[in-house]
Amino acid sequence: MSKKSLLSLHSKAQLGNFNAMACFLSELHFEEFPPERRQLEHRAMGLASTENYRQEEAENGVSFRKYFREDYFIEVHTTFNKSSEKFNETGYVGVLIKYSVQGKGLSKVFQCYFERVEGLTDRMHALVYALNIAMMNRPYSKYDGTLMPLKDFSTKTKKLDSRFKGPDDFDLEEISIFDEKFLQKMPTHLFNVLEEVLQQREYYYSHKDPNSRSIEDTKRVREPQKPGAVVPSHNP
């Protein structure tokens, strides 16, 4: 049975779903990242202006960010527009992990997108909770004692697959962002929801039409003209 779209709900119900997201994100110490700050960041990076309705809508949606060591941050795009008190007509709710690369702008090392349908808040809550634990407990390399950077392997393995990776000069040292030592710190009800999310993603990728377009194909990639000029959006 198909799930009911949140976009079909009355505006008060849509606002209620957004407030539920904002509530648990606040409890995890995420801060709202409003459209005005995103526009400032994009101007500082020298990004070209948006060229389609979907991108324009996305930039007017409320996001939340939480920063970790070495300028890594988890970002949650809610696609909710506070002016209209409704979700945008287009797009997906996105949960991403990015970090700042000197001279290159922002690099994306994890991404997962959700349709705006019933049950969204619980699924997003479980995923963000797991990612938050992993990033708060980011492992140190046993070889050189440095914090292990996060790398995205999803293109190769066709599933949600980001791993903390040790120095390339040594034997293979990798720890999944969904490693058991992180997940055991989750409440049981959230862990069960997360398992469903991961299973659904693996099923989706394994049955996906290889010729179908991805989210990245639906928008023009705007390369920053001034990648080193990213405006700090958090307190160091």
Model confidence, pTM: 0.85
pLDDT at 44 (0 to 100): 73
Q: Residue 79 has which token pair?
A: 């696609």
Question: Cα–Cα distance between 210 and 224 in angstroms, integer?
Answer: 29
The pLDDT of residue 101 is 80
Q: How far is CA 187 from CA 137, 191, 222, in A?
A: 17, 6, 39
What pLDDT does residue 236 have? 44
Instruction: Return d(Cα 68, Cα 49) in angstroms, integer.
Output: 29
d(CA 206, CA 189): 26
pLDDT digits (tens, 9 = 90+) for 121-164: 999 999 999 999 999 999 999 988 999 999 999 888 888 999 99
pLDDT under 70: residue ranges of the chain: 1, 47-58, 169-170, 204-236
CA distance 106 to 110: 12
Question: What CA–CA distance (Å, rounded) separates 88 from 79?
Answer: 6
pLDDT at 140: 95
- The confidence score (pLDDT) of residue 148 equals 95
pLDDT for the residue numbered 126: 98
